[in-house]
Structure 1
Amino acid sequence: MTDTELERGEVLFNEGDSGDRLYVVLDGKIKLGRTSGDGRENLLAVLGPGQMFGELSLFDPGPRSATATAVTDSRLASLGHAELQPWLVNRPDVARGLLFQLAHRLRRTNEVVADLVFSDVPGRVAKALLDLSTRFGRQADDGIHVHHDLTQEELAQLVGAS
């Protein structure tokens, strides 16, 4: 495993780059985004500690499907294809865990597609804020404080409203 540190705003990899590493967020927040042919941006996800990304490059030789950028100063652990293979062969629990994460990601993608089709923008914003509060919120005397570190434009991109 390799440790990587990123400063806020630093790009780890770009959409279209070749890739061969899976990353796990240890500290901080990472955003995954795509750019359309006409230059519009879409924010796919905001990831925090314990969440992984970049795994597609380990199983599919195609280019990176998104750009990964640090939303805050961040620390990541990464694992390359050659390092992962022995883990998958010798540790079935690791393989099951990876499959669980991939299934969870697919389920989340299905929910996002359904929200884009069936929910209006205010509903998608409310759902996104609830999700961010669950993952990044801190209980306080006056409620839950959510420090998601996103701009209004990024929040709009996250819910498909930009």
Structure 2
Amino acid sequence: MASLGPNALARMIDIATVTSYEARDLLFRDGEAAEYFYCVLSGYVRLYRLNKDGREADIRICGPGDTFAECLLSVGDTYYYNSQAAENATVARFELQKVRTIAEQEKDVAKAIIQCLSNYLRSTMDCIANDRLQTAPQRVAQYLLDNCPRDSASASIRLPFQKSLLAGKLGLAPEALSRAFSALRRAGVTVRGRIIQISDISALKQI
């Protein structure tokens, strides 16, 4: 939206519908007919799939500013995964067919969609690479380092969501996340609820 010209921006805002969901509310289910793509305004939305035995696999945790289901603008007429409010969340939703029409008339919108899809592809490739190249403690360490203040020797971080969501975001089972935090104690990482204390950032970088 930030890259759109005034006319294109006005048209997109005009078709946006803002909706709020309570924790655990479903936005849509895998296989349902797709009508909208979404942008998270506040809270967090969990994207996941189920296998035939009912086991869940997190695909992505979307926070404020993130979009999802935008791939359906170019191909597909059903949702490919389930979407659930991980906590109270407010989203803007955009009717797919109306956005397709606007994109045909407004080059700014078409370019923004391409940029959005490209960014998501790159982040997905990074996620796959991290899953294959990093151990669980390394994934957790990298997340903590990404959220530490720059040029600090130590830090205190408050997770913006429950640790179960962090596990899903990092592609870990909850028990694997717990073991990873235990392994990071030697690097000065202490966990108290959502508060993560890092006494030695330089040691964490060596993980």
TM-score, normalising length from structure 2? 0.65
Alignment correspondent of 1:90:
105
CA contact under 8 A between 1:20 and 1:57: conserved in structure 2?
A: no
Aligned-residue sequence identity (percent) comes to 27
Distance 1:37-1:119 versus aligned 2 partners, 3 A rule: farther
Q: Which residue of 2 aligns with 1:32?
A: 47
Task: Assess if the C-alpha contact under 8 Å between 1:35 and 1:41 holds in 2.
Answer: yes
Shift of the 20–128 alpha-carbon distance from structure 1 to 2, 3 Å rule, reads farther
Unaligned runs of 5+ in 1: none
5+ long unaligned stretches in structure 2: 1-15, 174-207
Matching of residues 71-82 of structure 1 within 5 Å: 71-82=86-97
CA gap of 1:144–1:101, structure 2 versus 1, over 3 A, is farther
| Number of equivalences | 154
The alignment status of 1:120 with 2:132, answered yes or no, reads no
Flag the 1:43–1:127 CA change in 2: closer, same or farther, 3 A: farther
Q: Give the distance between the partners of 2:29 and 2:143, measured in 1 at CA.
A: 24
Relative contact order (alpha carbons < 8 A, sep ≥ 6): 1 or 2 greater?
Answer: 1
Query: Do the aligned partners of 1:6 and 1:70 also contact (CA within 8 Å) in 2?
Result: yes
> Higher strand share goes to which structure?
1
SS in structure 1 opposite 2:41? strand
Secondary structure (helix, strand or coil) at the match of 1:78 reads strand
User: C-alpha separation between the residues in 2 aligned to 1:67 and 1:125?
Assistant: 25
Q: How many angstroms does 1:144 deviate by? A: 4.9
TM-score (norm 1): 0.81
Partner Cα distance (1:143, 1:129) in 2: 9
Asked if 1 retains the 8 angstrom alpha-carbon contact of 2:61 and 2:168, the reply is no
CA RMSD of aligned residues (A): 2.3
Q: Give the aligned residue type for 2:160.
A: H
Aligned equivalent of 1:52: 67
CA distances 1:10-63 after superposition (whole Å, capped 9, x unpaired)? 110112222121111122211111223443322222212221111123322253
Change (3 A) 1:37 1:118: farther
Shift of the 50–157 alpha-carbon distance from structure 1 to 2, 3 Å rule, reads closer
Q: Distance in 1 between matches of 2:136 and 2:155?
A: 24
Contact 1:71 1:150 (C-alpha < 8 Å) held by counterparts: no
